[in-house]
Structure 1
Amino acid sequence: MNHDRTALAIRHVAFEDLGLIEPLLVARGYQVSYLDIGVDSLDPQILTQPDLVVVLGAPIGVYETDAYPFLVTELEAISVRLQAGLPTLGICLGAQLIAAALGAPVTPTGRKEIGYAPLQLTDAGRASVLAGLEGVAVLHWHGDEFAIPDGAQRLAQTPGFPNQAFCLGDRVLGLQFHVEADHTRIERWLIGHALELAAAGIDPRQIRADATTCGPMLADVAVTTITSWLDRAERG
């Protein structure tokens, strides 16, 4: 096992961390570290150094660059990494940032998709590392939508959001939904997003209950899915 590999997670909100993915990376010999947006400085070249970069979620939009100027630098840094062809995983806002860095528009829909609900895979998705997620209830928490970047494959959809995942080759994967969220720690999400839940008229008790019933299966499939992607990304 290679113990010299490094994984860097770009974190925007304290409780939206690597979750279930972190122990998996450690077991594969990665040294895991976080870059906390708004706390740590982000130089565009810094993202070319780690073997793996995971860009995590946040309750803001890619296009809100006036309100959150760090997004400009973050997009530039992600672009530099993508141009270098290095393994990159994006989740929620992270996937939207990757899509935007690849030239695809990211837009608000005026709707919210929050809570556990099943995923439907496309034909390409069923042939991809996401194969095990067909029909599995994943955690959704978004209102924005990315277009599929040129050259990328659309892998998954839900009734309200046709673009739920994409891959560009074996080394770039963007997931609109959350596979990393640890269902045993869902309370932190419910507290952190309390205002958004209230504004959307969503009862936290429903998400809490669904985390108990859907969470364990999702956790198993999530580990298998990310393992399959890493197997390909590390080879590529």
Structure 2
Amino acid sequence: MWYVLQHAEWEGPGIIAEALAAHAIRFEIVRLDRGAAVPKASNLDGLVVMGGPMGVYEAADYPFLAAEQKLIASCVAGGRAVLGVCLGAQLLAAALGAPVIKGPQMEAGEGSVVLTGSGRQDPVLGGGKGELPVVHWHQDTFPLPQEATLLACSRLYEQQAFRLARTVYGLQFHLELSREQADDWRNRGLTITREYEQRVRAVGERVFDNFIHLAVAGG
């Protein structure tokens, strides 16, 4: 069983759920924003941690954040697949010992990331162009966790994607938007044209399929 940890109504798994279903993987969406408990590491085969409006440093207001960090650390130590998106990537970085702070500038809407040399060779993010269309929606940032490999950067923030071992990935940006999510985010003020949405989705479908295939194969 895989678990998808969701922190906000508008930050669901989108096409990640479609990719899991396409690989016939059983998964459960855990709505932490609705009071669901953080699952135990012993009960899962893979973990996806989604974004959210809160910061890692706000654990006093959102107690589940500390429990999530412990779960992520247990999954990493146990060799389980972990994918963190936006807040999920920040929680992963924190679980690996990196401090998460509020950055100097909001990064939101249409954007791109440039793959590093390691990113271009990466089995999940690589295999396409060296610059990927993405959607940004964050301000928090972090230094690269110890022993992690930097995979992608943007003009505003260096840490956009990183990998630890073979199946632990943090993505600061968003590739998971379904049609409904993209419509919702536009209504919330983000600039995402329909054409750009389709470009991002094409990249997301490839990236998430690569990640799940790698995870199922055992890295």
22, 44, 49: which one aligns with 1:27: 22
Note the alpha carbon deviations across 1:125-153, whole angstroms, 9 max, x for none.
Answer: 00112123632320000000122111110
What are the residue-to-residue correspondences of 1:148-167 with 2, within 5 Å? 148-167=144-163
Distance 1:68 1:215 in 2: 31
195, 200, 205: which one aligns with 1:223: 205
Say yes or no: does 1:137 pair with 2:147. Answer: no
Distance 1:185 1:70 in 2: 24
96, 109, 114: which one aligns with 2:103: 109
57, 65, 69: which one aligns with 1:63: 57
Q: What is the TM-score when the length of structure 2 is the normalising length?
A: 0.92
- Matched AA of 1:18: P
Give SS of 1:14's match: coil
**Greater shift after overlay, 127-136 or 57-66?**
127-136
- Matched AA of 1:169: A
Distance 1:94 1:158 in 2: 18
Distance 2:197 2:186 in 1: 15
Distance 2:8 2:90 in 1: 16
Say yes or no: does 1:185 pair with 2:181. Answer: yes
Say yes or no: does 1:18 pair with 2:13. Answer: yes
- Matched AA of 2:43: Q
Larger radius of gyration between Structure 1 and Structure 2: 1
Displacement after TM superposition at 1:47 (Å): 3.0
Task: Go from structure 1 to structure 2 and tell me whether the alpha carbon gap of 1:98 and 1:158 turns closer, same or farther (over 3 Å shift).
Answer: same
**Greater shift after overlay, 179-188 or 150-159?**
179-188
Structure 2, gaps ≥5 residues long: none
1:82: which partner in 2? 76
Say yes or no: does 1:91 pair with 2:85. Answer: yes
Give SS of 2:26's match: strand
Give SS of 1:167's match: strand
Greater than 4 Å deviation, 4+ residue runs: none
Say yes or no: does 1:9 pair with 2:1. Answer: no
Displacement after TM superposition at 1:167 (Å): 0.3
Contact 1:171–1:233 (8 Å) recurs in 2: yes
Distance 2:95 2:132 in 1: 29
Structure 1, gaps ≥5 residues long: 1-5, 195-203
Contact 2:55–2:140 (8 Å) recurs in 1: yes
- Matched AA of 2:12: D
Displacement after TM superposition at 1:70 (Å): 2.1
Give SS of 2:48's match: strand
Q: What is the TM-score when the length of structure 1 is the normalising length?
A: 0.85
Displacement after TM superposition at 1:170 (Å): 1.1
Instruction: Supply the RMSD in Å over aligned alpha carbons.
Output: 1.6
Contact 2:51–2:85 (8 Å) recurs in 1: yes
The number of equivalent residue pairs is: 215
Task: Go from structure 1 to structure 2 and tell me whether the alpha carbon gap of 1:156 and 1:69 turns closer, same or farther (over 3 Å shift).
Answer: same
Note the alpha carbon deviations across 1:73-127, whole angstroms, 9 max, x for none.
Answer: 2211221221111001000000000110011111111310000112111101001
- Matched AA of 2:63: P
